[in-house]
Amino acid sequence: MIDKTMVKERFSKHAETYDQYAKVQKVMGDTLLTQMQEQKKTYHNILEIGCGTGYLTKKLREMFPEAKMTLVDIAPGMIDYVKSTLPPENMKFICGDMEELDVQDTYDLIISNATFQWFNQLENTIQKLVASLQSEGTLAFSTFGDDTFYELHEATNKAKIALNRNKQVQPGPSFYSLDQIEDMFIGLGLNHNQTSFSESYYKEHFNKCREFLHAVKKIGANNSLAGNHGMGVALMKKVMEIYDQDYEENNQVRATYHTMFVSYRR
Tell me, what's the pLDDT at 229? 53
* CATH number of the domain encompassing residue 50: 3.40.50.150
Tell me, what's the pLDDT at 228? 46
Phi-psi region of 97 (alpha: psi -120 to 50; beta: other; left: phi over 0): beta
Q: Taking Cα atoms as reference points, which of 17, 171, 141 lies closest to residue 81?
A: 17
DSSP designation for 173: P
Each residue's pLDDT tens digit in the chain (266 positions)? 888 998 989 999 998 889 999 999 999 999 999 988 888 889 999 999 999 999 999 999 999 999 999 999 999 999 999 999 998 899 999 999 999 999 989 999 999 999 999 999 999 999 999 999 999 999 999 999 999 999 999 999 999 999 988 877 777 778 999 999 999 999 999 987 889 999 999 999 999 999 999 999 888 877 655 444 567 889 999 999 999 999 999 999 999 999 999 999 98
Helices (H), 64-208: 76-85, 122-131, 150-162, 178-187
8 Å CB contact between 139 and 129: yes
Tell me, what's the pLDDT at 156? 93
Torsions phi, psi for 201 (to 5 deg): -120, 140
8 Å CB contact between 110 and 129: yes
User: What's this model's pTM, rounded to 2 decimal places?
Assistant: 0.93
Tell me, what's the pLDDT at 1? 83
The Cα–Cα gap between 115 and 104 comes to 21
- In the three-class reduction of DSSP (H, G, I as helix; E, B as strand; rest coil), residue 99 is classed as coil
Residues with Cβ within 8 Å of residue 51, at least 6 apart in sequence? 57, 71, 72, 73, 78, 79, 82
- CA 78-83-85 angle, 5° bins: 100
Structural domain of residue 133, as residue ranges?
Answer: 4-265
Q: How many structural domains comprise the chain?
A: 1
